[in-house]
Amino acid sequence: MADITTVDLVQITFWFLAGCISFYFSIGNARVWTSISLGFFLIFLSQLYVVEKALDMPWTAYTQLEAIHYIIGTISIMVMTHGFQEYYIFSRTLEIGGTKTAVYLTVLGVVAASVVFVFINPEPQYTVLRNISVIENATWVFLSLVNLDMVRKIYAQIRDSVIAKGFIGFGIVFIAIFLWKGAELYLQVYNWDADWKLIMQNLGGVVPDLYSGRRDFSLLVHDYAGLLSGVSVGGTFIYLLKLLR
């Protein structure tokens, strides 16, 4: 059975809370929230793999599943970014196009196409999984900065509305996510992550124990920023739910 830390458990509990509220949010509220809420719900699905591995679920033996979790994580931040861009346009023009159904079907189609892509290609080995994880983390780091700018612009447009403080909450969420994913990406770029160590052990190599201070600090930032991202997103959605129900 894989290890699961207290930080993992607390983080996943809050992502689950945020995922449930955001999914309910996308059903019961205005079209303009659909992509944002759906993106946050997909994050929970991508994080769910940590629990599945900890519970030693039989399907976790298939590396295709791990690849799909990473890809869903990448899709989630892209959908969310699209949602914040839509909200910014709505805050300036009070116009929004499309339907909720179109958003659901488009996201479902992208996820289904990704699943097909994974299964028609060779079974991903650990090096391939690590490459997919690097792409996910790099996408999150870049789009977190884009979303921080979007949230700032939206707040400037709606600062007098009752939900304006909710966007301050989203700002805290994206700062935490930037640090969480950025720390993991930093470790991967310099081959200081646990996956690289495992790959080298399987190849009979040894990872030199250098720069342990920087590696330990990055792990600390990764764990606590991940925890803060879960708590802050859960708190933000609870706050918005109370305002918009």
| Domain 6-244: which CATH number of 1.20.81, 2.30.30, 1.20.1070, 1.10.287 | 1.20.1070
Q: What is the pLDDT of residues 197-218, one digit of tens each?
A: 888 888 887 777 788 899 999 9
Provide the residue ranges of all domains of the chain, joining segments of one domain with +.
6-244
**Tokens 């690849």 — which residue?**
67
Mean pLDDT for the stretch of residues 225-235: 89
Burial level of 16, CB count in 10 A (0-12/13-18/19+)?
A: middle
Are the beta carbons of 129 and 70 closer than 8 angstroms? yes
Q: What is the pLDDT of residues 121-176, one digit of tens each?
A: 999 998 999 999 999 999 999 999 999 999 999 999 999 888 899 999 999 999 99
Say how far apart CA 72 and CA 64 lie, in whole Å: 12
Percent of the chain with pLDDT over 90: 52
Are the beta carbons of 215 and 187 closer than 8 angstroms? yes
Say how far apart CA 94 and CA 96 lie, in whole Å: 7
Higher confidence at residue 139 or residue 235?
139
DSSP characters over 54-83: HTT-GGGG-HHHHHHHHHHHHHHHHHHHHH
Percentages of the chain per state (helix, strand, coil), in multiples of 5: 85, 0, 15
Torsion angles phi and psi, residue 92, rounded to 5: -95, -35
